[in-house]
Amino acid sequence: METREPEVIRDKEAMRRWSRGMRSQGKTIGLVPTMGFLHDGHLSLVRQSLTLSNVTVVSIYVNPGQFSPTEDLSTYPSDFSGDLAKLAAVSSSGSVIAVFNPKNLYDYDGGRNKKTISGGGRGGGKVVSCVEEGGLGHETWVSVERLEKGLCGKSRPVFFRGVATIVTKLFNIVEPDVAMFGKKDYQQWRLIKRMVRDLDFGIEIVGSDIAREKDGLAMSSRNVHLSAEDRQRALSISRSLAMAKASAEQGQTSCKELKNMIISELVGAAGRIDYVEIVDQETLQGVEDIKSGVVVCVAAWFGTVRLIDNIEINVTV
């Protein structure tokens, strides 16, 4: 089957013209937002987008707005040429994929501001992102007030504000009809759905099931940083989640008991727990007993790598 090299667009005005040109031809547009270093989970989102829209845009942009100055965004893995090759393999002669790869979506003076956004410092005690620390002048942020507070929002206080803002910017630039998000980042998916509802974006948000390695580890660009030993230990996450789901389906409805089961597995595998929570699938509020659909969410460190995973439990009492 013939493959098609994706067109790479780096300027936001050029991206907007491309999208409007496609729409003038009656084509629908799908968007798959990524930070690059694509794996099969990303590519499954691209394939799904190609079935739901006429053309697909894959954004590759490591967003400084979702990193705090104490998180070195320069360590995020990157392989742009490899990403293009993977997207070319996914594409066929009958499909169109464009890659939006801007240099800096927070630069409003054409590069004349020489300050960097690579981190360092703490912003005088205020919770800030690398964008604010870099002094680029960006001051408008999108916050989904309640959904951003718990789970990952507890340990990463600027993260979801940065995610909601960059996704809003991408929506305004690309102007898609549909956008794809993986459910591994469950809180992010729910937050974006709520933002789209509340701000009346005319965009369908599609959540895709978690893509996993053959041994059950949730696919993540960060997995490359795991040592062989830590990778084996990290399998305790998906294993404990599956155990909790099976136990719930067999009648265990106490969230305390289920969480203790997971914690025991993770600690036994030398994991450092950020959180283990069981929350309502829609509101992300914690529950004590399972009476309707919930999602079990885990964040834990193995070695120097923080991993997240989750599993939905759809039992009713």
Strand order in the sheet with 272-280: 272-280, 294-302, 305-313
d(CA 217, CA 220): 9
Task: For residue 12, give the H/E element and its range.
Answer: helix 12-24
Q: Is 42 a catalytic residue?
A: yes
Closest by CA to 116, choosing from 99, 98, 136, 96, is 136
Other CB atoms within 10 Å distance of the CB of residue 75: 11
Q: Give the start-end residues of each E strand in 183-271.
A: 204-208
Query: In one letter, which amino acid is 30?
Result: G
Backbone angles phi, psi at 133, to 5 degrees: -65, -35
Closest by CA to 48, choosing from 211, 216, 222, is 211
Catalytic residue chosen out of the listed positions 39, 42, 138, 225: 42
Q: Rounded to an integer, what is the distance from CA 130 to the centroid of its chain?
A: 18
Cβ-based neighbours of 293, under 8 Å, separated by 6 or more: 280, 281, 312, 313, 314, 315, 316
CB 84 within 8 A of CB 37: no
CB 98 within 8 A of CB 6: yes
Q: Please, what is the Cα angle at 208 between 202 and 210, to 5 degrees? A: 150
> Residues with catalytic annotation?
42
